[in-house]
Amino acid sequence: MTTRRFFLRNSALAMVGAGTAPLWLQRVLYAADAPSPRKKILVAIFQRGAADGLNIVVPHAEKRYYEMRPTIAVPRPSQMPDRREDAAIDLDGFFGLHPALAPLKPIWDDGHLAIVHAAGSPDPTRSHFDAQDFMESATPGLKATADGWMNRALPHAEPAATVSPVRAVAMGPVLPRAMRGANPAVAVQNLSDFQVRNAEASGAFQALYADSQDPLLHAAGRETFEAVSLLQSVRKRPYEPAADANYPRGHLGDCLRQIAQLIKADVGVEMAFADVGGWDHHVNEVGARASEGQLAMRLADFGQALAAFWLDLGDLRHAAAVVTMSEFGRTARENGDRGTDHGHANCMFAMGGGVRGGKVYGEWPGLEPEQLYEARDLALTTDFRDVLGELVRGQLGIRDLSRVFPGYAPKPCGILRGSPGNGSHAEARAST
Amino acid sequence: MHAGTAQQKLDLFSSFPPDRQDQLLENMGQGMRMELFAAAPPGLRRRIQCANGPQAMVAQDLTEAKLFRAVYSNRQLDEVLVDFWYNHFNVYLEKGADHYLVTAYERDAIRPHVLGKFEDLLRATAQSPAMLFYLDNWESAGSQSPAGQRRQRGLNENYGRELLELHTLGVDGGYTQKDVTEVARCFTGWTIRQPQRVAEFEFNPRMHDDGDKTVLGVRIPAGGGIGDGFQVLHLLAQHPSTAHFISRKLAMRFVADDPPETLVKRMAATFLKKDGDLRAVLKTMFDSPEFWSRRAYRSKIKSPLEMVASSLRVLNAQVDFTFGLNNQLTQLGEPLYRKAEPTGYSNSGQEWLNSAGLLARMNFSVALVNNKLPGVKVDSAHSAEGVTLGSPDFQKK
């Protein structure tokens, strides 16, 4: 898997010493080596707190949905002809997007956004903590798994020195569970601050680590200063997103803007991770109308951030895929506080150049009492590892998925072009 | 109170009478409170934190005490062992009620036993509300028990599994999934009385599965009640796999990431001979040639807590309050009491080596010697020592 670029980079850096290469050389080595084949990229977004999938991708043709959510349901697309901003945006006659997700509709229409509904972790836990843990380790029910699925999904590279020091990047202060493990992965809290803040000390540190007799510290120091120096030119150049890419202010927008910045800088990123909290709406989930309230605000941020990222990538879209997940869904019925409690299955989004979009995937389990999980939650019909597995194979080229998802054999859903599929909700519904 | 330095804000705030001050604290936002905090004397700092939230105050006091002890205690082995055993029997502070249960957990279940018998430690953790809540055992009911029948509750295997895998035998300790289920059945009814109020351990016979069980080949006859759990703990505390697992983990902490098997075997032999006497196991380790060997000397990478504590001590820093240090530990990857997974933080030093972590260590070092960390004062004569603290040599222990 050695690309010419990284071979060049390492041999050149070996000559001049890591991090001391002049800027022009770094630019030649890192960015301007156009003929090298660009790797595909997988971006994972975790919505922490259990997002309410039934109000995000709304089953507006289900009568039961409206019966169970008398005050917080998102109205049918046809219901409010004069106030369309307060009704679901129809996708296929059965499902509709929450109106705050309007920025995603063009991507759906272009066939680059797919949805998998009734997806998630088969583990019955309704604990945020356990469920997030299981989703990030991708071993539901097994708490002692030490590493995360993203780390295990990093393609093996021999020799290890030939890969980019920033091939796996998580936005945040520490590596998320999903990216922890034996393979190197970098946590970046803020790209503009990924450095030793004191220039004089930085040089001294670099020399000390280069001279260290301890092989691990020597290597870690090299890896660090390589990443710092690799990102230095990226960091120093003010970043201008594409003209029409309006990232929302806030954490997710910041994360995705920086991920786009890294991807466009062509520094060898193969996977990236960002998370966004605030989805645990037990009380007053929806405001006076569907376009108002806590969920609408979170979704406006979410939809705008994803759409901006998509526009920002420009012609690099073909290489990138984004997948979203949340630890579990919420109760099918609203509770007494105009909110929802912890549930089971949820919806996942997949967006990318290779995604076969414009389609809601997965078997729809229905919302009749006997169809609900434990008589209260949307039942699960697609294991989240089926979705992740297909993307890991398609984007990262991993053939043997048993290493990434131990004890489980992912079944592709068909969300990527060129992979076999199980079909869409439309087929399942045709029989009802 | 919008403009001006923290000191000017404090002066303005202090000019109000005390009863008006409390009202002001209640009404101002958290952002403004924390601005005041930066310049506030200790008494006011507590009032500010209380206004931020009493629950957060409990957690804040807990982490503060841990850092103070780590830096200033004269009983360093005690503190290292409390850190080791808390981490071994890890509980995540951010999980619901554990936000206020971990204080008593560390004080009553861990600290008194770190130089005592392993079985006492194991029993104390098994009966602690913090652990019962963290690993969900408090909700676990036998499916045929009265409570299980009535409330459609069932068996929860979380605690049973971690008890075998992480607390005693180790993942290769020779147990099966069937053992996990049987152990979980034994612990049904080990629950918490009034978790939101009293939060005491309680055995509830109406939740207990009173049938026959077999654990690791040993039959536990029906009708044992609370005794089922004690029998399991006794069985596990005496098991050779436990002796080996615990000995190896201690040697990993004190000797090397991959400790010599000869040493681990001698420690395990002591563990079995002395009925799990942890003081005797440690003594075997400290008296061993492996512990004093050249290979083991400074062979490990410090954890972030060790790095921070040793930096403060080597500079003779004066620590006034610790929220700045706690933020640093989060940046370094070891937020105290906040390891979500029951595995705890790794005892392998290598785990701490990653780019973000190393950069954070370097930046911490430079900030510390330049007096940039709130609540910490360092003699300005040390301002050149930042490079030393962030150097490769100082990362080792």
How large is the average pLDDT for residues B199-213? 96
Residues 281-320 of B with CB under 8 A from A: 301
Residues B300, B269: contact at Cβ < 8 Å?
Answer: no
**What local confidence, expressed as pLDDT, does residue A17 receive?**
47
**What local confidence, expressed as pLDDT, does residue A36 receive?**
44
How large is the average pLDDT for residues A185-192? 84
Going from the C-alpha of B369 to that of each of A70, A137, A208, B373, B383, the distances in angstroms are 60, 39, 18, 9, 5
Percent of chain B with pLDDT over 70: 98
Categorize the per-residue pLDDT at A23 as very low, low, confident or very high, splitting at 50, 70 and 90.
Answer: very low
**What local confidence, expressed as pLDDT, does residue A187 receive?**
83
The one-letter amino acid at B75: R
How large is the average pLDDT for residues A10-16? 46
**What local confidence, expressed as pLDDT, does residue B51 receive?**
84
Q: Which residues of B touch A130 (CB under 8 A)?
A: 136, 158
**What local confidence, expressed as pLDDT, does residue A422 receive?**
53
Categorize the per-residue pLDDT at A45 as very low, low, confident or very high, splitting at 50, 70 and 90.
Answer: very high
- The ipTM, to two decimals, is 0.86
Task: Say how many CA atoms lie within 13 Å of B131 toward its Cβ.
Answer: 27
Report pTM.
0.77
Separation in Å, CA of B134 to nearest CA in chain A: 10
pLDDT in tens, A311-358: 999 999 999 999 999 999 999 999 877 889 889 999 999 999 999 999
Distance CA B195, CA B139 (A): 11
Q: Nearest Cβ partner of B355 from A143, A202, A224? A: A224
Q: Which residues of B touch A129 (CB under 8 A)?
A: 92, 94-95, 340
Separation in Å, CA of A425 to nearest CA in chain B: 32
CA B389 to the chain's CA centroid: 25
Going from the C-alpha of B149 to that of each of A20, B153, B154, B192, B223, the distances in angstroms are 70, 7, 9, 19, 18
Contact A208 B359 (CB under 8 A): no
Residue A223's H or E segment, with its range, is: helix A215-236
Q: Indicate whether A217 pLDDT > 80.
A: yes
Distance CA A292, CA B139 (A): 37
Categorize the per-residue pLDDT at B221 as very low, low, confident or very high, splitting at 50, 70 and 90.
Answer: very high
The answer to whether B198 faces chain A, any CB pair under 8 Å, is: no
Query: Exposed e or buried b for every residue in A14-52, given b needs 16+ CB within 10 A?
Result: eeeebbebeeebbebbbbebeeeeebbbbbbbbbbbbbb
pLDDT in tens, B29-55: 877 888 888 788 878 888 888 888 777
How large is the average pLDDT for residues A27-43? 59
Both tokens of B7, joined, read 């000191």
Among A409-418, A421-430, B215-224, which stretch is predicted with the lowest mean pLDDT? Answer: A421-430
**What local confidence, expressed as pLDDT, does residue B151 receive?**
63
Categorize the per-residue pLDDT at A427 as very low, low, confident or very high, splitting at 50, 70 and 90.
Answer: very low
Q: Which residues of A touch B393 (CB under 8 A)?
A: 208, 212
**What local confidence, expressed as pLDDT, does residue B387 receive?**
95
Q: Nearest Cβ partner of A184 from B330, B331, B354? A: B354
Q: Nearest Cβ partner of A198 from B350, B366, B395? A: B366
Q: Indicate whether A138 pLDDT > 70.
A: yes
**What local confidence, expressed as pLDDT, does residue A29 receive?**
52
pLDDT in tens, A378-408: 999 999 999 999 999 999 999 999 999 999 9
**What local confidence, expressed as pLDDT, does residue A175 receive?**
79
**What local confidence, expressed as pLDDT, does residue A20 receive?**
47
Q: Indicate whether B208 pLDDT > 90.
A: yes
Both tokens of A132, joined, read 């997030």
Q: Which residues of A touch B344 (CB under 8 A)?
A: none
Percent of chain A with pLDDT over 90: 64
Categorize the per-residue pLDDT at A28 as very low, low, confident or very high, splitting at 50, 70 and 90.
Answer: very low
Distance CA B357, CA B345 (A): 14
Contact B340 A177 (CB under 8 A): yes
Question: What is the greatest pairwise CA distance in chain A?
Answer: 73
**What local confidence, expressed as pLDDT, does residue A11 receive?**
45
**What local confidence, expressed as pLDDT, does residue B52 receive?**
80
pLDDT in tens, B268-324: 999 999 999 999 999 999 999 999 999 999 999 999 999 999 999 999 999 988 988
pLDDT in tens, B59-113: 889 999 999 999 999 999 999 999 999 999 999 998 888 989 999 999 999 999 9
The answer to whether B181 faces chain A, any CB pair under 8 Å, is: no
Contact A187 B390 (CB under 8 A): no
Going from the C-alpha of A47 to that of each of A42, A122, A275, the distances in angstroms are 16, 18, 6
Contact A187 B356 (CB under 8 A): yes
pLDDT in tens, A354-385: 999 999 999 999 999 999 998 999 999 999 99
Residues A54, A329: contact at Cβ < 8 Å?
Answer: yes
Separation in Å, CA of B62 to nearest CA in chain A: 21
Separation in Å, CA of B16 to nearest CA in chain A: 36
The answer to whether B388 faces chain A, any CB pair under 8 Å, is: no
Distance CA A135, CA A46 (A): 9
Distance CA A97, CA A106 (A): 12
Distance CA B154, CA B144 (A): 9
**What local confidence, expressed as pLDDT, does residue A19 receive?**
46
Among A27-36, A63-72, B247-256, B374-383, which stretch is predicted with the lowest mean pLDDT? Answer: A27-36
Q: Nearest Cβ partner of A129 from B92, B363, B393? A: B92
CA-nearest residue to B356 within chain A is A187
Please count the other Cβ atoms lying within 10 Å of the Cβ belonging to residue A327. 30
User: To the nearest whole number, what is the mean pLDDT of chain A?
Assistant: 87
User: To the nearest whole number, what is the mean pLDDT of chain B?
Assistant: 92
